[in-house]
Amino acid sequence: MHSPVRVGLMGLGTVGSGVVEIMAKHAEQLAHRSGGPIEISRILVRDASKTRSVPVALERITTDAGEILDDPSIDIVVELIGCPGGRVEPARSYIAGALERGKHVVTANKDVIAKHGRELIQLAREHRVGLYFEAAVAGGIPIIKSIKEALVANEVQAIMGIINGTTNYMLTKMAHEGRPFEEVLREAQEMGYAEADPTSDVEGHDAAYKLAILASLAFETPVAVDDVYREGITRVTPEDMAYADELGYVIKLLAIAKAHEETIEARVHPTMVPKEHPLAAVNDVFNAIFIEGDAVGELMFYGRGAGKLPTGSAVVADIVEAAQNIRRGVDGRLGGAVREKRVLSPLEVVSSYYVHAKVVDSPGVLAQIAKAFGDHEVSISSVIQKGRGEDPVSLVFVTHKVLERNMQAALKQIAALPVVRSVANVIRVEGE
Ligand code: NAP
Ligand code: HSE
């Protein structure tokens, strides 16, 4: 047996506790699988007096990051402090500091990797160490390793993912129980899925961070978080859910990235997906990522995108891989951008659309709206009218694929028609 590989754990919250629990429970197997023991020798927390949910020796706890970063016996730093209040510091500096000192780093921090991944990968390369971040995207689902290793023979052409569990739980409840957004948000908060400030989840920021990481890796081109077009789920109503059902769709918050010859697209928005598409069956807090590769065809990864043990599972897998690489004396596979593809603006993207307009109920209204669509080369695939004699009534359209620039021009013309009270919602349709 080799001497132990030593880990400095930063953060002992939800995920940190899961890591300690898994490493204690499977110590023997993990030692066998990584070629020798792995030991957590120091743990950084904010408040050393807190009672912990897992047994840890008090003398291992510290509130001084230097006791990990400057300890030459520590081989791997595991950063699980996150970004409280949305701030990347001090997590970014701790990761960079560890890499500069020749330590391998494992992190679950999507914010830091999405915003600073490129420079951190470069730093790891310069110092000949590994930077591992499997848990940063889709918790327990091994999607990063799959893209970097198992799918290495492919050009990845498209990724469509449900990569935010909180919003998937809320949309599932809205669809199955006909309840409004505010009510299911309160329930998600009571269940501990949604944060007290749910903005990051419901406005799609969390999914945009994860998509930026996935698209950068899959397409080997830098994709910044600001390159990802983003719409949250706050405007989805039970009425839209009911129309989706009638038209043969379900509404999901999808993270979509597609590769073209010279460009890519990356977007997060509520999306109508045909009921027979594999992503339509992904409910509650579950995550799933649907990938198309040129050699392998279509694949789907499904599992838990968050939680103590699922996320801990991904972190521990990274720790074991880092330990194996340390024992073999190799740096670890880093990947990174090898080409620069332009990210399309939303107006340059092609999609089908669901359009829900509130209109005056009188003869000729449908013809006026159809003409506005026709003027901008938007072709209609189906129409529903509900209500009679009320003001307003709902007119619902699904279009064929069209350039968003044309769609926006048509919508502007429709909204200006005197017979149209409002365009209540517009939702993209994918996966047909
Ligand atoms: P958490 O429960 O809030 O735990 C954070 C831990 O970090 C706590 O132990 C806290 O110390 C410590 N900490 C925070 N700021 C610190 C600082 N400035 N100095 C020292 N210690 C500090 O967070 P979490 O849910 O485990 O998330 C950790 C990371 O995993 C985040 O990047 C998150 O995005 C990612 N992640 C989480 C999940 C999930 O299911 N929770 C899933 C995927 C990815 P105290 O305990 O003393 O307060
Ligand atoms: N808040 C995220 C979700 C989990 O609901 O999926 C952490 O990334």
The mean pLDDT of the chain is 96
**Does the Cβ of 225 fall within 6 Å of ligand 1?**
no
Q: Would you state the pLDDT for residue 384?
A: 94
Say which residue, 396 or 335, is predicted with more confidence: 396
Index of the ligand 1 atom closest to the CA of residue 307: 40
Paired sense of beta strands 350-359 and 402-403, if any: antiparallel
For residues 214-227, average pLDDT: 96
Query: What Rg do the C-alpha atoms of the chain give, in angstroms?
Result: 24
Q: How confident is the model over 356-365, as a mean pLDDT?
A: 94
Tell me the pLDDT tens digit for each residue of 174-214. Answer: 999 999 999 999 999 999 888 889 999 999 999 999 999 99
> Given this model, what pLDDT does residue 149 score?
93
* 222 in contact with ligand 1, CB cutoff 6 A: no
Sequence-ordered strand ranges (E) for 5-60: 5-10, 38-44
Q: Whose CA is nearest to atom 4 of ligand 1?
A: 13
pLDDT at position 331 is 82
How many angstroms separate the alpha carbon of residue 155 from the centre of ligand 1?
Answer: 35
Using a pLDDT cut of 90, give the percent of the chain over it: 93
| Bridging pattern class, strands 297-304 and 380-386 | unpaired
Strands 263-274 and 342-343 turn out to be parallel
Domain 347-429: give its CATH superfamily: ACT domain (3.30.70.260)
Angstrom distance (rounded) from CA 298 to CA 158: 9
Does the C-beta of 201 come closer than 6 Å to ligand 2?
yes
Please check whether residue 362 is in contact with residue 419, taking contact to mean a CB–CB distance below 8 angstroms.
yes
- 145 among known catalytic residues: no
Residue with tokens 């989805």: 236
CATH architecture of 144-304: 2-Layer Sandwich (3.30)
Distance CA 109, CA 195 (A): 17
The pLDDT tens digits of the residues spanning 406-423 come to 999 999 999 999 999 999
Helix axes 205-219, 110-126, angle to 10 degrees: 30
Tokens of 83: 């970004």
For ligand 2, whether the C-beta of 111 sits within 6 Å is no
Ligand 1 centre to CA of 359 (Å) is 49
> Does the structure show a pLDDT above 70 at 138?
yes
What number of residues does the chain have?
432
pLDDT of residue 334: 67
Q: In the prediction, which pLDDT does 264 show?
A: 97
Chain centroid to CA 379: how far?
32
Q: Strand 249-259 vs strand 5-10: parallel, antiparallel, or unpaired?
A: unpaired
Question: What are 241's two structure tokens?
Answer: 């859910």
Write the DSSP string, 218-238: HHTS---GGGSEE--STT--H
Rounded distance between C-alpha atoms, residue 248 and residue 267, angstroms = 23
pLDDT in tens, 329-348: 988 766 777 889 999 999 99
pLDDT greater than 90 at residue 400: yes
Ligand 1 contact, 378 CB (< 6 A)? no
Using one digit for the tens of pLDDT, what is the confidence trace for 263-277? 999 999 999 999 999
Given CATH 3.90.1530.30, say whether it is the number of domain 5-140+308-328.
no
Please check whether residue 262 is in contact with residue 342, taking contact to mean a CB–CB distance below 8 angstroms: yes
> What pLDDT does 1 receive?
58
Domain boundaries of the chain, sorted by first residue: 5-140+308-328, 144-304, 347-429
